[in-house]
Amino acid sequence: MPHKHHREIIILLGKPGSGKGTQAEPLARAMGLPFVSMGKMLREEIKKGTKIGKAAAAGVARGELIPNFLTIILLRRRLSRPDAKRGIIIDGFPRDLEQAVILDKIAHVRHAILISITDKEVVRRISGRRICSVCGQNYHIEAFKPKVKGICDKCGGKIVHRDDDKPYIIKERLRSYRQDTVPVLRFYRRKRVLRRVDAQAGIVAVGKNILEAINKADA
């Protein structure tokens, strides 16, 4: 594997509902780097029933977090693929300080983008989210309504409100964020790679501001 500093690792950080997932793919296209979602990679391993998938699924069934060594194995494997030679854009990792320290040992984080949002806006955005119970298409009661109330435009499935998108769960998720992710922000601030972008602008404007923050830091 090439020396870790040959790679351009960009990580997206922010509270739940800040728009990390929404921004990741357009940013990946603009930068010409692959986008890696740790959550998606783990879900695929569980679905395929691989060794890592089975170990992760057993933990999930017990309500535990995925052990760091499993996510690191997956990340190392992803970094060794030819398309990641120049680097990757990561969403969903590192989630805590221990993960940030481990990541620092295997890759050089050039930019840690914090998509900043207020708690009030998080609750408004997430509690308004709805999802099709059949195909998984996302909707929002204000921003993206289906043509027919409660019915998915794509497949005609029933649109539901997920339990973890309900306000009392969101508040719990925000508590965990503060406990686990705030030390990560301090870690990257000390390394002078943290770039803060306000999430309140529209999706396109936020994307533009992320690119500007990266270019400014690289200038």
Residue positions annotated with a catalytic role: 20, 95, 129, 162, 173
Q: How many CB atoms lie within 10 A of CB 129?
A: 18
Amino acid at 84: A
Q: Is the dihedral of CA 54, 55, 56, 62 positive or negative?
A: positive
Q: What phi-psi label fits residue 132: left (phi over 0), alpha (psi between -120 and 50 degrees) or beta?
A: beta
Q: How far apart are CA 162 and CA 77, in angstroms?
A: 32
- Quote helix, strand, coil % in the chain, to nearest 5: 50, 20, 30
- DSSP code of 66? P
Is the CB of residue 170 less than 8 Å from the CB of residue 11? no
Give the closest residue to 16 by CA, choosing from 34, 33, 39: 39
